[in-house]
């Protein structure tokens, strides 16, 4: 094990996969000389050169088109789009090309394409640079979607994405960049479609991912003081989703809270809640509760953004509402 920041774990995943497979290349905004806006590709240009680490124009449509074409021809493109808010600029390439190409060609080719992008607030980046838009991509058949809550998973999920023969959207939370943790050295993957049990419990299942997962862990510690033993699950792989693992937890606890930073209305938590209600209704002893952001753009004001963000207090309140 090595102690790494979230940012360095992301960088190491790309480096290890580039060492392992010469077909892997990185492209995107400022990935070469600058090493990306948050440093996730630092040093890769110096080590692998300009043919495998390519700076592109600030044109999301062009970046994803490059990745789709290269991946269709047998390369493994790792694309860096700094803010997921601007994936809207290339939705035709993502939604109608990357997600559909293998299906429309009858499986005659695969598309090993990875799109990395930053999500989330808490850094004062305002409405156009702070959104969590995972629900947009989970709705598109043909894409896999993952989002890590810690450095170990940041490396393992990204490495798995690069090796996957299908397009994968990897969503990395900006507020986690300085977070440190133990990360396996060398090549290492975290399989898709598997939850991680962050804390065992018997009274309620709290489901989350990305930065909000860590708030759920802290909330669970506070709930213990009030005699509530919460189980905390890191969903991390949104598509494919480990619904069997989730249902096993729900069967044990009988109560569910789903928390995420995305706007609650239309958020992916609603899909998970529907699956639980459909497949595990008999396990439930109380209604499923969701905790998400209000239906408004992310504020720039620090005070307003703090109020906007789902936090430990709101998670605790949602859990307690299932008991009292």
Q: Which parts of 169-237 fold into alpha helices (H)? A: 210-225
Residue 189 and residue 156 in contact, taking contact as beta carbons nearer than 8 Å: yes
Residue 66 and residue 115 in contact, taking contact as beta carbons nearer than 8 Å: no
Q: Choosing from 129, 173, 260, 307, which is the catalytic residue?
A: 129
Distance CA 178, CA 214 (A): 14
Cβ neighbours for 22, distance < 8 A, ≥ 6 positions apart: none
139 assigned to active site: no
Distance CA 158, CA 25 (A): 14
User: Is the backbone of residue 321 left (phi > 0), alpha (psi -120 to 50) or beta?
Assistant: alpha
Q: Tell me the three state secondary structure of residue 58.
A: coil
153, two tokens: 């998973």
233, two tokens: 């699950």
In the chain, the largest separation of any two C-alpha atoms, in whole Å, equals 61
Active site residues per annotation: 129
């Amino acid at each position: 094990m090595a102690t790494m920041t979230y940012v360095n774990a992301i960088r190491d995943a790309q480096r290890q996969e580039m060492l392992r497979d010469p077909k892997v290349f990185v492209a995107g905004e400022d990935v070469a000389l600058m090493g990306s806006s948050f440093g996730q590709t630092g040093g890769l240009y110096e080590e692998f050169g300009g043919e495998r680490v390519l700076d592109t124009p600030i044109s999301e449509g062009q970046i994803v088109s490059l990745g789709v074409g290269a991946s269709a021809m047998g390369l493994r493109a790792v694309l860096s789009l700094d803010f997921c808010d601007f994936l809207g600029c290339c939705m035709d390439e993502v939604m109608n090309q990357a997600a559909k190409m293998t299906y429309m060609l009858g499986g005659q080719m695969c598309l090993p394409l990875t799109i990395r992008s930053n999500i989330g607030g808490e850094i004062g980046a305002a409405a156009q640079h702070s959104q969590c838009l995972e629900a947009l991509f989970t709705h598109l058949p043909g894409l896999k979607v993952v989002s890590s809550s810690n450095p170990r998973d940041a490396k393992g999920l990204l490495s798995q994405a690069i090796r996957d023969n299908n397009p994968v959207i990897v969503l990395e939370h900006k507020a986690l960049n300085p977070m440190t943790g133990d990360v396996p050295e060398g090549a290492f993957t975290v399989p898709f479609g598997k939850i991680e049990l962050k804390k065992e419990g018997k009274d309620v299942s709290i489901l989350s991912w990305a930065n909000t997962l860590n708030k759920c862990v802290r909330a669970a510690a506070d709930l213990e003081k009030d005699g509530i033993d919460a189980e905390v699950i890191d969903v991390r792989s949104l598509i494919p989703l480990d619904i069997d693992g989730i249902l096993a937890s729900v069967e044990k606890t009988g109560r569910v809270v789903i928390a995420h930073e995305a706007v609650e209305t239309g958020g992916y938590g609603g899909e998970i809640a529907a699956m639980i209600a459909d497949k595990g209704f008999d396990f439930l002893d109380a209604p499923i509760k969701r905790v998400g952001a209000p239906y408004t753009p992310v504020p720039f004001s620090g005070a307003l953004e703090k109020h906007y963000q789902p936090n430990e207090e709101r998670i605790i309140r949602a859990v307690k509402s299932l008991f009292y």
